[in-house]
Amino acid sequence: MPASLLSALDGTLFIDGEFRPGAGPRLPVINPATGERIGTIAAATGDEIAAAVAAARRAFRPWARQVPRRRAEALHRLGDLIAADAGAMARIMTLEQGKPLNEARGEILKLAEACHFYAEEATRVHGETVPNDQPGFRSLIVREPVGVVGAITPWNYPAELVGWKLCASLAAGCTIIVKPAELTPFTALAIAAKVAEAGIPPGVVNVVTGKGSVVGQALVAHPGVDKIAFTGSSAVGLHIQNTCPTIKRLSLELGGNCPLIVTASADLAAAVKGAARRSFRNMGQICIAINRIYVARPLYDAFVAALGQAADRLVVGNGLERPDADVGAMASAEPLEKTRAHLADALAKGARLVAGGQAPEGAEFARGFFFRPTVVADCTPDMQVMREETFGPLVGVAPFDTLEEAIAAANDTPYGLAAYGYARDLTEIERLSAGLDYGNVALNNVDAGIMNAPYGGRKQSGVGYEHGREGLLEYFNFKHVRLHHGVEA
């Protein structure tokens, strides 16, 4: 049961195939639905970080030399073990992150799917041969694993965002050191327990906990780490890029400020349903959450009214006690404060409150970080909700007159992660799909990321990809082998 699993993981680091008690100071981990302390993590010390890097380096060559089928088998075992224990792992996630239990379980099962997807991809990595201008030569393009990966992850998807990096690393033949977010470390440690159970060799996967500015930064600085795979805010991503002391491979999956455009030809009911889902799921704490919505003027009033009703219908609950709640607590005080600040800014600048705007009432919400899904209408471009990532359950809506104007407004941002559109007119669909300057564009649906297709941002939303074959290629170096075989005929 999670209580005993949690206490077994309390204060531990996973290094070289073993859980060991951390020597550094302890940091509390809080249940955001109740404010209660659920355990502590150890701030990894310099020696412990060095031990994790040394273990990953030792394990790298033997792991990379395994035939891909062996690595695939290990990933399949890991996926099976994770799926078999999804209930207990989900409870850990809900306890530390706040999302409803059913949703947490869904995330754990998607992590298991990622294991199986990358297990299959592992056996399909192939190179190329390239024609030469001179006879007697052949060029081979070979893919070789990058080496030791430092994975630094945020708290909003504590299993999947670790999993994509871990699965792709293992499939490619890399080894990995995971530094999970301070708020949600136990999900990562629970994944490490499954790694051990799956018989994955010591050192191939390591987990070190602690503050990002210390432990994360130590991985960025360490000469034994060949690549940093980071998911988090644009500010920290930029900081990592600026402070990396040596040349390293970097993949940076960063923040967004994602627009939805609803054109005059859209299916209104479908657009409202999509908007409610992608604005508020996980309390809006999704990098690809819809932050701002532009609606063609003829549909505007009806859309705003229906989205307000959809937001009001969402059930907020303590994720453990209400496993089927639509949304749970926010993960900490910080995103809640930012949501309140963006709301206050919008209202002060003339926005109209359509739904939410406050914490839900009731004793059960008194000590957690709860807020009602909130819709503000008649928004203008100067409002923070229309310009910055809120990362909370708040969405702004504004009308538009021409599609050019809407696409220009959607693109008028330093971010380029995901954009959404609802339209039935084929020319509008084509103009949206070609005109939106984003790494992911979802039209007439709001699920911009699927496991089989590359997922990545543009501009300040990052570099590199996760998911799909492209996500796996991030973990390889290409080697050009130019062979003179001398056969000229």
Q: Residue numbers of the site for ligand NAD (CB under 6 A)?
A: 152-156, 161, 179, 181-182, 212-213, 216-217, 220, 231-233, 236, 239-240, 253-256, 287, 389, 391, 417, 457, 462
Q: Minimal distance in Å, beta carbon 57 to ligand NAD?
A: 20
For residue 224 the two structure tokens come to 């034994």
Q: Minimal distance in Å, beta carbon 237 to ligand NAD?
A: 7
For residue 94 the two structure tokens come to 């809900």
d(CA 95, CA 100): 9
CB 296 within 8 A of CB 70: no
- Tokens 């100067």 locate to 382
CB 17 within 8 A of CB 59: no
d(CA 372, CA 384): 19
Amino acid found at 61: R
CB 294 within 8 A of CB 260: yes
Tell me how many degrees the CA angle 228-231-236 measures, rounded to the nearest 5. 85
Q: 211: Cβ–Cβ under 8 A, 6 or more apart, which residues? A: 27, 43, 182
CB 170 within 8 A of CB 117: no
Q: Is residue 113 annotated as a catalytic residue, yes or no?
A: no
CB 331 within 8 A of CB 30: no
d(CA 49, CA 85): 29
Among 103, 160, 253, 474, the one annotated catalytic: 253
CB 344 within 8 A of CB 334: no
For residue 169 the two structure tokens come to 């690393």
Q: What is the DSSP string of 359-406?
A: PPPSGGGSSS-----EEEES--TTSHHHHS---SSEEEEEEES-HHHH
Based on its alpha-carbon atoms, the radius of gyration of the chain, rounded to whole angstroms, reads: 23
For residue 13 the two structure tokens come to 């680091």
Return the number of the residue (389 or 428) whose C-beta is nearest ligand NAD. 389
Return the number of the residue (180 or 323) whose C-beta is nearest ligand NAD. 180
Query: Residue 112: which H helix or E strand, with range?
Result: helix 101-122
Q: Is residue 48 annotated as a catalytic residue, yes or no?
A: no
Known catalytic residues are 253, 287
